[in-house]
Amino acid sequence: MQTLLIEGQSRQPFQGRFVVPGDKSIAQRVLLLAAMAQGETVVEGVPANFDCQSMLGVISKLGAQVCDLGGGRVRIVGWGQRGPEAVEEPIDCGNSGTCMRLTAGVLSMSAHTYTLIGDPSLKKRSMRSLVQLLSQFGAQLETLGENDCPPLRVRGARSGLEGEFQPLEFTKLTVQLPTSSAQLKTAAILAALSRGNIELTVREPFKSRDHSEILLRELGYKLREHPLADGGHEVTLKVGSCLVPALGKYRVFGDPSSAAFLIALALLRPHSHIVVDYLNINPTRMGFYAIARRMGANICARYNNRFYGELVGGITADYSHLQGVEVQASEVPLCLDEVPLLAVLASRARGVTRIRGAETVRHKESDRISSTLQELAKLGIRSTEHVDGFDLWGQMGEAPRPEKDAGQTEPILLQAHGDHRVAMSLGVAACLVHRPVQLEGFECAAISYPEFWETLKRMMVIL
């Protein structure tokens, strides 16, 4: 575990135009669909983060032909009618829960048995809901770790059948997700694509990210979506053939979750002004930005075009005076990745910020509620933790001042808890204090945004 020393924090405004790495949520979905497809796909803008590298390793091991063309371009020839190859050794998903859950969805309808493993962080993430979900398709899943955690063994529903791609009997299946989860929803959709001859309906308490639905429409599939009377959301997909057509060519645009850290720093640093270009601005990814605007943030999204069904544009942000707000449970599925960052924004706002309905974020790379509040307390931020969220008292726009005298030179030690979102959120907070900060485990930011620290150094935000 490495330590980053942030000291002599610059007082200059944070200014400039930026392009952030491609959206890893979309990239992983595109890579996996390309691997399933009959034919060739060239994907541009694949981010060089650990999660996407894990997905590339997984699909290569399962039989897709993967060629790195350089500059974030990857050519993939899918396994198509052959189906994923039998693999006896464990398949490593690294730190990526998305990779493990989506891959399990594909393998749940295969003719073989697989074991999916991950790094120590992923081994602590429960797969109970995934096991319950995919068992409804006839697959047999078993968690080999404690408390329903990985390793995950998947025995495909076609095991023992002659000819993996012989038509199965048509069926209708409706699944109810216990929480709004784009990963679980996509795992179910990928299982349906791999099975074929099925009409699948997925219901969730609130609408979650819809990248998978958009991708399927681009591939020619017809989906029906509509809100439910109880406030929930429903998606219905009818699949005939289990052979997935190739996208041909796809470009992944910037990740709005990665951009949020730069935007937050501009909002909190006096006289700052930044623009992030070539950004995916899908409405289901704008939860953080909508909440920030309610807090009084001067943020403007600019729509430029639509590529492969996704909205693409830019976001402008200026230094702002913020006000505490209430974040409701229905808003949380659209800002799951940014809850730690919202806590940092709230720490500089006037009044109290309350977040509820966020229990899901306790089961990410870390318990993001507990770990974020614990570290912010070291910077003098007062909060009350709840099972599904927190109350946090802001410091009315003043720079956080730790309990000890701000003039001291001894660094404050903050810990990233092995969580890339927590690491970068604490990095934003550290740029605003009056004392040196040592951030332990900062390198985990490479899971989603390897260039983050270099960006801050280049802009002289940290010296």
3-class DSSP state of 456: helix
Cα–Cα–Cα angle for 254, 306, 328, rounded to 5 degrees: 65
φ/ψ bin of 80: left (φ > 0), alpha (ψ from -120 to 50), beta (otherwise): left
Catalytic residue among 337, 367, 391, 419: 337
Residues facing 17 on adjacent strands: 275
Token pair of 312 as six digits: 């693409």
CA–CA distance from 91 to each of 59, 87, 122, 152 (Å)?
10, 8, 13, 10
Phi, psi at 99, each rounded to 5° = -60, -45
Residue 223 pairs with which residues in a beta bridge?
237
Catalytic residue status for 148: no
Cα 234 to Cα 239: distance, rounded to the nearest angstrom:
16
Residues 206 and 177: their CA atoms lie apart, in Å, by 10
Count of other CB atoms within 10 angstroms of residue 150? 24
- Per the CB < 8 A criterion, the answer to whether 443 and 45 are in contact is no
- Closest-CA residue to 9 (of 344, 418, 406): 406
The pair of structure tokens assigned to 296 is 């009084």
Residue 218, Cβ density class (10 Å: 0-12 exposed, 13-18 middle, ≥19 buried): middle
Contact present, 52 and 16 (Cβ < 8 Å): no
Q: Catalytic residues, which ones?
A: 337
